[in-house]
Amino acid sequence: MTFIWAFIIAGLFCALGQIILDNTKLTPGHVTSLFTVLGSLLAFFGIYDKLIDLAGGGATGIISNFGYMLYTSALAGYEEMGILGIFSGMLTKSSTAIVGSIVFASIVALIFKPKD
Amino acid sequence: MNKEEYQKLVKKYEPKENKFQNVVYAFLIGGLVGFITEGIIVLLMNFFNLSRMIAGAWTCLIVIFAASLFTALGFFDNWMTKSKAGLLIPTTGFAHSVSSSALDYKKEGLITGLGSNFFKLAGSVILYGILSAFILVIVRVIIGG
């Protein structure tokens, strides 16, 4: 069942993004930022947790999960050590994605030449 | 030919983008990416006896690695255009934006090119993600006491 929901949830987010792209003047940069903020908003209302339970990789594999991870790790940081924890804990979960993209992008940029 | 006629003529020859087809494409490809992501998570969980959280983090790395490599190999830009938002909204979009700006600006030097343009596109995702999460946690703390 999780597989079907993974397809549906990820598909719906992408379809929503496409509707925004087609009907407004917003660029892909706007849309990805918007979906990240949407992710932290959904996390704030406790909806994103339910989406992850339901769709697994369908919910953790999209950019909104970045907003969700930022929100949840900042909150966990606050619960552990107060206001300072918001600052020190914010990036704990999303570190994997940020460091991963920095390392892999640097490696491929060193090895490959841009194609045009 | 007056202005109105000209406008009509322009409209006639403008390439019509089929919006409905775009949305269906985005849904199907985005759905497929979600499906594959879940598939990798389940595979890792079963093969290496990992918890869902650890398997999810590895999957995130695998997807980012694949997107960076495909971008460098040159065919991912084409995929991104064809799939509409289907590859943009998943993590692949983030990885693609970072690796494509890394590749494109490399020739302008390591600091002024690669370094200062690395997060050209992904920077706003990080910035607004962190700002919104920060504000929302503050709100949550104030409401929740």
Which of B71, B104, B141 lies at the smallest CB-CB distance from A78? Answer: B141
Check residues A46 and B2 and name the one with the higher pLDDT: A46
Say if residues A62 and B89 touch (Cβ distance below 8 Å).
Answer: yes
Which of B24, B34, B60 lies at the smallest CB-CB distance from A100? Answer: B60
pLDDT given for residue B144 in this prediction: 82
List beta partners, residue B90: A62
Give the global pTM. 0.90
Q: In degrees rounded to 5, what are phi and psi of residue A62?
A: -110, 165
Confidence check: pLDDT of A116 > 60: no
DSSP string, B79-104: HHHHTGGGTTSBHHHHHHHHHHHHHH
Question: What token pair was written down for B16?
Answer: 């019509």
Q: What is the ipTM of this complex?
A: 0.93
Banded model confidence at residue B30, pLDDT cuts 50, 70, 90: very high
Cβ–Cβ below 8 Å for B61 and A115? no
Banded model confidence at residue B16, pLDDT cuts 50, 70, 90: low
Which residue in chain B is spatially nearest to A91 when comparing CA positions? Answer: B130
Distance CA B114, CA B102 (A): 5
Domain ranges of chain A: 2-111
pLDDT in tens, B51-90: 999 999 999 999 999 999 999 998 998 998 888 899 999 9
Check residues B10 and A7 and name the one with the higher pLDDT: A7
Distance CA B113, CA B74 (A): 20
